Amino acid sequence: MNQGILIAEQNGTRGARVNTIEIFRSEKNTIWNDGKTFLIVFDKKNNQVADYDFSTGLKILEKDNENIVFIYEDDLISGKWKFYGSKVKVIEEKVFETRVESEGFQDGNIKKRKQQDEEPWNNNRVRGKYVSRKEREKRIRICRSCSFFNQNEGFCEINGMLSIETTKHETSHCPESKWGDIKKTSEALVSQKEVENEINKDQEKFNEDLERYLKEI
C-alpha cells in the first residue's frame, strides 16, 4: 500500500501536511457498509490487537475519479494489518454487496493507539445505540481471548456474527454470556417487534380507509 501526504480529507482537515497510509482504492462515489468495513492489526503470533472503522480511524477521500480509504500514520499502531471492506450497490431497488480486501505492514514503534472520542459510534453513526469506547474495548478483549473467536476475520464461530461489530452495540450480547445483558437484548428485540407491529397495523388501517374512500367516490 502507498504511503503519502494529504492536505485534507473529505470530512475535515488535520493540520497542513500529514502522513497517511493508503488502505484501498475504489471507484468514485463508492458506498461502504460501515458495519462490515474495518481494518485489523495483528501481533507477531497473528492475534488481533486492534481494529479500526470509519468512526475510529479510517477516512475517505474523493480524489479525481477514485474513492480512497486511508488512515493517518500516527493513528495506526505498528504491525501487520488487514483491511476488509464491503462495497454497496443498489440496482433496480435491490442491494448488492461486494467484499474487498487489502493488507500491509506498519513500521515503527507506535504501540498504543490514540483515542480521544469516548462515544465514537454514537457521535458518528446515524442509527443505533452504541456502548462507550471503554466498554467496547472490554468486550472485544474478551472476544480476542476466546477460543471461539476467529482471529483472522473477527467473527464468532458460535453464532457466525461479526464480533468486531456486535461488540459495539448496546443491545447485543455474547452467546456464552461473557459480556452484554441478555435480558436487555431480549427486551430491545421485543420492543422493536412491537413498534413494527404497530406500524403494520397503521398501514393496514390506512389501506382499508383508502379502499373504502375509493369505493365511495
Residue 132 to residue 19: CA distance in whole angstroms = 28
DSSP-assigned beta bridge partners for residue 151: none
pLDDT at 10: 45
Q: Confirm whether pTM is higher than 0.95.
A: no
SS3 110: coil
pLDDT at 177: 92
pLDDT at 209: 64
- Cβ atoms of residues 97 and 30 within 8 Å: no
pLDDT at 2: 46
Q: What is the CA radius of gyration of the chain?
A: 21
**Helix ranges, 79-181 (H):** 120-124, 133-144, 163-166
pLDDT at 91: 84
Which DSSP state fits 175? Answer: T
Structural domain boundaries in the chain: 1-114
- Cβ atoms of residues 3 and 35 within 8 Å: no
pLDDT at 103: 97
DSSP-assigned beta bridge partners for residue 81: 41, 104
Amino acid at 22: E
pLDDT at 203: 60
**Chunked mean pLDDT (size 10), the chain, 217 residues:** 42 62 94 95 95 96 93 93 94 89 89 83 91 96 97 95 95 92 66 52 63 64
Element at 68 (helix H, strand E): strand 66-72
